[in-house]
Amino acid sequence: MQSYLMVKGVLLDVSGVLLDGDTVLPGAAQCIVSLESAGLPVRLVTNTTRQSKRQLAQHLRSHGIEVEMHRLFAPAAAACAWLKKNGYAPHLLVHPDLEEDFAECSTSGPCAVVVGDAAQAFGYDSLNAAFRKLQKGAPFLALARNRAFKDHDGLLSLDAGAFVEALEYAAGTKAILFGKPSRDFFTAAVESMGCHPHDVAMVGDDVESDVAGALRAGIGAGILVRTGKYRAGDERQVEPRPTAIVASIEEATQLILRMSANGD
């Protein structure tokens, strides 16, 4: 890491950093406690869209990772705020478990197409229905555009990005992105800690959305962990390159603690 950087706040990805499917990764339950005990505010920033925010918080707590709702940043809340501000009702192409996060959105008026990782709900009929609304001029809201995620069988599976790009191509439009690597998404999490982006470290397993995305958004340090979806050589596929590459959240935590203590 750059010697002039003194970390004052931390952003953590969830899937692949704290949890590997239904398994808590070593050191994950303690990392938030250690960081906050050192005076560092922590926010969890996730592109997970197969669970509601409530379900995700419960899932983390069931694995001994205590998190208050205000410390958890997920794309659905930002999309809901946009819908309310601009007077749109959502046409949802999302996982059924995520629908509760849109329960308070308007059901009348012009619609905007909202796409997340819909899993088995992705099919020709559902994609074509979204396409037809986009053709008629509906705004396109993408909750994430990750290429892949590590599935329960340990292999990579298609994430929402492939479907977002397919709809963009077919409809000749561009989606508004609400999850990582959106600058606005990172900025909202940083501002909630009262920090300057340059004084914050981001820890993730996705070199593109988590790490390079954070660095492009002005985050001071992007730390790549070799867990979750990480594959050897990922760090050479993007610019800017990771600030540091470590084996696990345990090593990332120790590195950040050293950075907060003396800026080394």
Tell me, what's the pLDDT at 195? Answer: 96
- Domains in the chain, ordered, with CATH? 9-47+182-262 (3.40.50.1000), 75-177 (3.40.50.1000)
Kindly report, residue by residue over 20-36, the tens digit of the pLDDT.
988 999 999 999 999 99
Give mean pLDDT, residues 208-234: 96
Long-range contacts of 217-223 (CB under 8 A, 24+ apart): 217/181, 217/182, 217/183, 217/186, 217/187, 218/183, 218/186, 218/187, 219/11, 219/186, 219/190, 220/2, 220/5, 220/7, 221/1, 221/2, 221/5, 221/7, 221/259, 223/252, 223/255, 223/256
Kindly report, residue by residue over 114-123, the tens digit of the pLDDT.
999 999 999 9
How many angstroms separate the CA atoms of 222 and 88, rounded? 35
- pTM of the prediction? 0.89
Give mean pLDDT, residues 64-68: 92
Residue 17 has pLDDT above 80, yes or no: yes
Tell me, what's the pLDDT at 22? Answer: 85
Give mean pLDDT, residues 184-205: 97
How many angstroms separate the CA atoms of 209 and 212, rounded? 6
Give mean pLDDT, residues 82-108: 96
Residue 2 has pLDDT above 90, yes or no: no
Cα→Cα distances 139→79, 82, 131, 231, Å: 12, 11, 11, 35
Phi/psi for 214 (5° steps) reads -65, -45
Give mean pLDDT, residues 95-124: 96
Long-range contacts of 24-31 (CB under 8 A, 24+ apart): 24/63, 24/64, 24/65, 25/227, 25/248, 25/249, 26/248, 26/249, 26/250, 27/248, 27/249, 27/250, 27/253, 28/63, 28/65, 28/249, 29/63, 29/64, 29/65, 30/253, 31/249, 31/250, 31/252, 31/253
Handedness of CA 231, 237, 238, 240 (dihedral sign): positive
Kindly report, residue by residue over 237-253, the tens digit of the pLDDT.
999 999 999 999 999 99
Tell me, what's the pLDDT at 263? Answer: 46
- With CA atoms as reference, report the closest residue to 226 among 204, 209, 208, 258: 204
Under the banding of pLDDT at 50, 70 and 90, the label for residue 185 is very high
Tell me, what's the pLDDT at 261? Answer: 67
Question: What mean pLDDT, rounded, does the chain reach?
Answer: 94
Tell me, what's the pLDDT at 138? Answer: 98
Lowest mean pLDDT among 18-22, 158-162, 206-210: 18-22
Under the banding of pLDDT at 50, 70 and 90, the label for residue 3 is very low
Under the banding of pLDDT at 50, 70 and 90, the label for residue 5 is confident
State the amino acid at position 242 in one-letter form: P
Q: Please list the helix, strand and coil fractions of the chain in percent, rounded to the nearest 5, in that order.
A: 40, 20, 40
Tell me, what's the pLDDT at 4? Answer: 54
Pairing of strands 244-246, 176-177: unpaired
